[in-house]
Amino acid sequence: MVLRLQNVEVRYGAVPALRQVSMEIRRGEIVCLLGGNASGKSTTMKTIIGSVRPSKGSVRYDGRDITDWNTSRRVASGIAIVPEARRIFPRLTVLENLMMGAFLRRDRADVQADLDGVFEMFPRLKERSAQRGGTMSGGEQQMLAMGRALMSRPRFLCMDEPSMGLAPVLVEQQFETIQRLNATGITIFLVEQNATMALAIANRGYVLQSGQLVLEGTADSLLQNPQMQRAYLGT
Ligand SMILES: Nc1ncnc2c1ncn2[C@@H]1O[C@H](COP(=O)(O)OP(=O)(O)O)[C@@H](O)[C@H]1O
Ligand SMILES: [Mg+2]
């Protein structure tokens, strides 16, 4: 088991944004989290990376209870996130943005090797390494956010709606990249509104509605599920 949420409740003030959420992500899987707007998808991501704390329940990673760990400690132990809307640093250069992902690391030689790996995966980032992040296109910023996450050398990568606002051809590329990363051994947790595409690459999926899980199962079973088809797949 890589990650386990157990009966997680998260509140922003009085209203719970997540209630009784339990999920498991196993080593090597691609698991997607689906759901409409405001269903609690980003809150789930934030609970995993530690930027919000549950009021009830626990978060376990690699067999350890990390509910009380801060974000840095989680990143140092191999969890990374590509946040919603990318959140790159617009005034920093592409290279500086990438190095922000490695700020906790002391293994300089390995950092350089990982930077070479990111540049190999995204040649555009190498070409633009001296350019400010904010001047890059949406698709390039998505590559940058992904490259930055990879610079922490994650074993568990969470991505919050990576396809948002991208042209279809870039969405395709994005999903191919996710599969390539998964093939290198990185476990992937993918939040998406594009359920059809997410289920096409995922092993399993969970569906949130108003902060509660309403469906879960293998990607195939979700694709075949009539409730799923009506509500999320438009078929
Ligand atoms: N910082 C916050 N303060 C108050 N309410 C919030 C905050 N962040 C999210 N919410 C609320 O929590 C619910 C879930 O939000 P979110 O997790 O962002 O959903 P999703 O990512 O599925 O769109 C929404 O009703 C949202 O308005
Ligand atoms: Mg969101």
Each residue's pLDDT tens digit, 125-166: 999 999 999 999 999 999 999 999 999 999 999 999 999 989
Give the distance (Å) from ligand 2 centre to CA of residue 41. 5
DSSP string, 27-77: TT-EEEEEE-TTSSHHHHHHHHHTSS--SEEEEEETTEE-TT--HHHHHHT
pLDDT digits (tens, 9 = 90+) for 20-36: 999 999 999 999 999 99
Q: Say what the pLDDT of residue 233 is.
A: 82
When the pLDDT of each residue in the chain is averaged and rounded to a whole number, the result is: 95
- Model pTM? 0.95
Q: Does domain 1-78+154-235 have CATH number 1.20.1250.20?
A: no
Nearest CA to ligand 1 atom 6: 12
Residue nearest to atom 7 of ligand 1 (CA): 12
CB 91 within 8 A of CB 133: yes
CA of 48 to the centre of ligand 2 (A): 14
Q: Give the helix ranges, DSSP H, for the chain.
A: 41-49, 71-76, 94-100, 108-121, 123-127, 138-150, 168-183, 195-201, 219-224, 226-228
What ligand 1 atom has the least distance to the C-alpha of 37? 23
How confident is the model over 2-9, as a mean pLDDT?
A: 98
Helix (H) or strand (E) holding 165: none
The domain spans of the chain are 1-78+154-235, 86-152
Q: From the CA of 191, give the closest atom in ligand 1.
A: 21
Ligand 1, atom 25: nearest CA belongs to which residue? Answer: 38
Closest CA to 119 of 150, 93, 160, 156: 150
From the CA of 115, how far away is ligand 1's center (Å)?
34
Ligand 1 atom nearest residue 208's Cα: 22
The half-sphere exposure of 102 on its side-chain side, counting CA atoms within 13 A, is 21
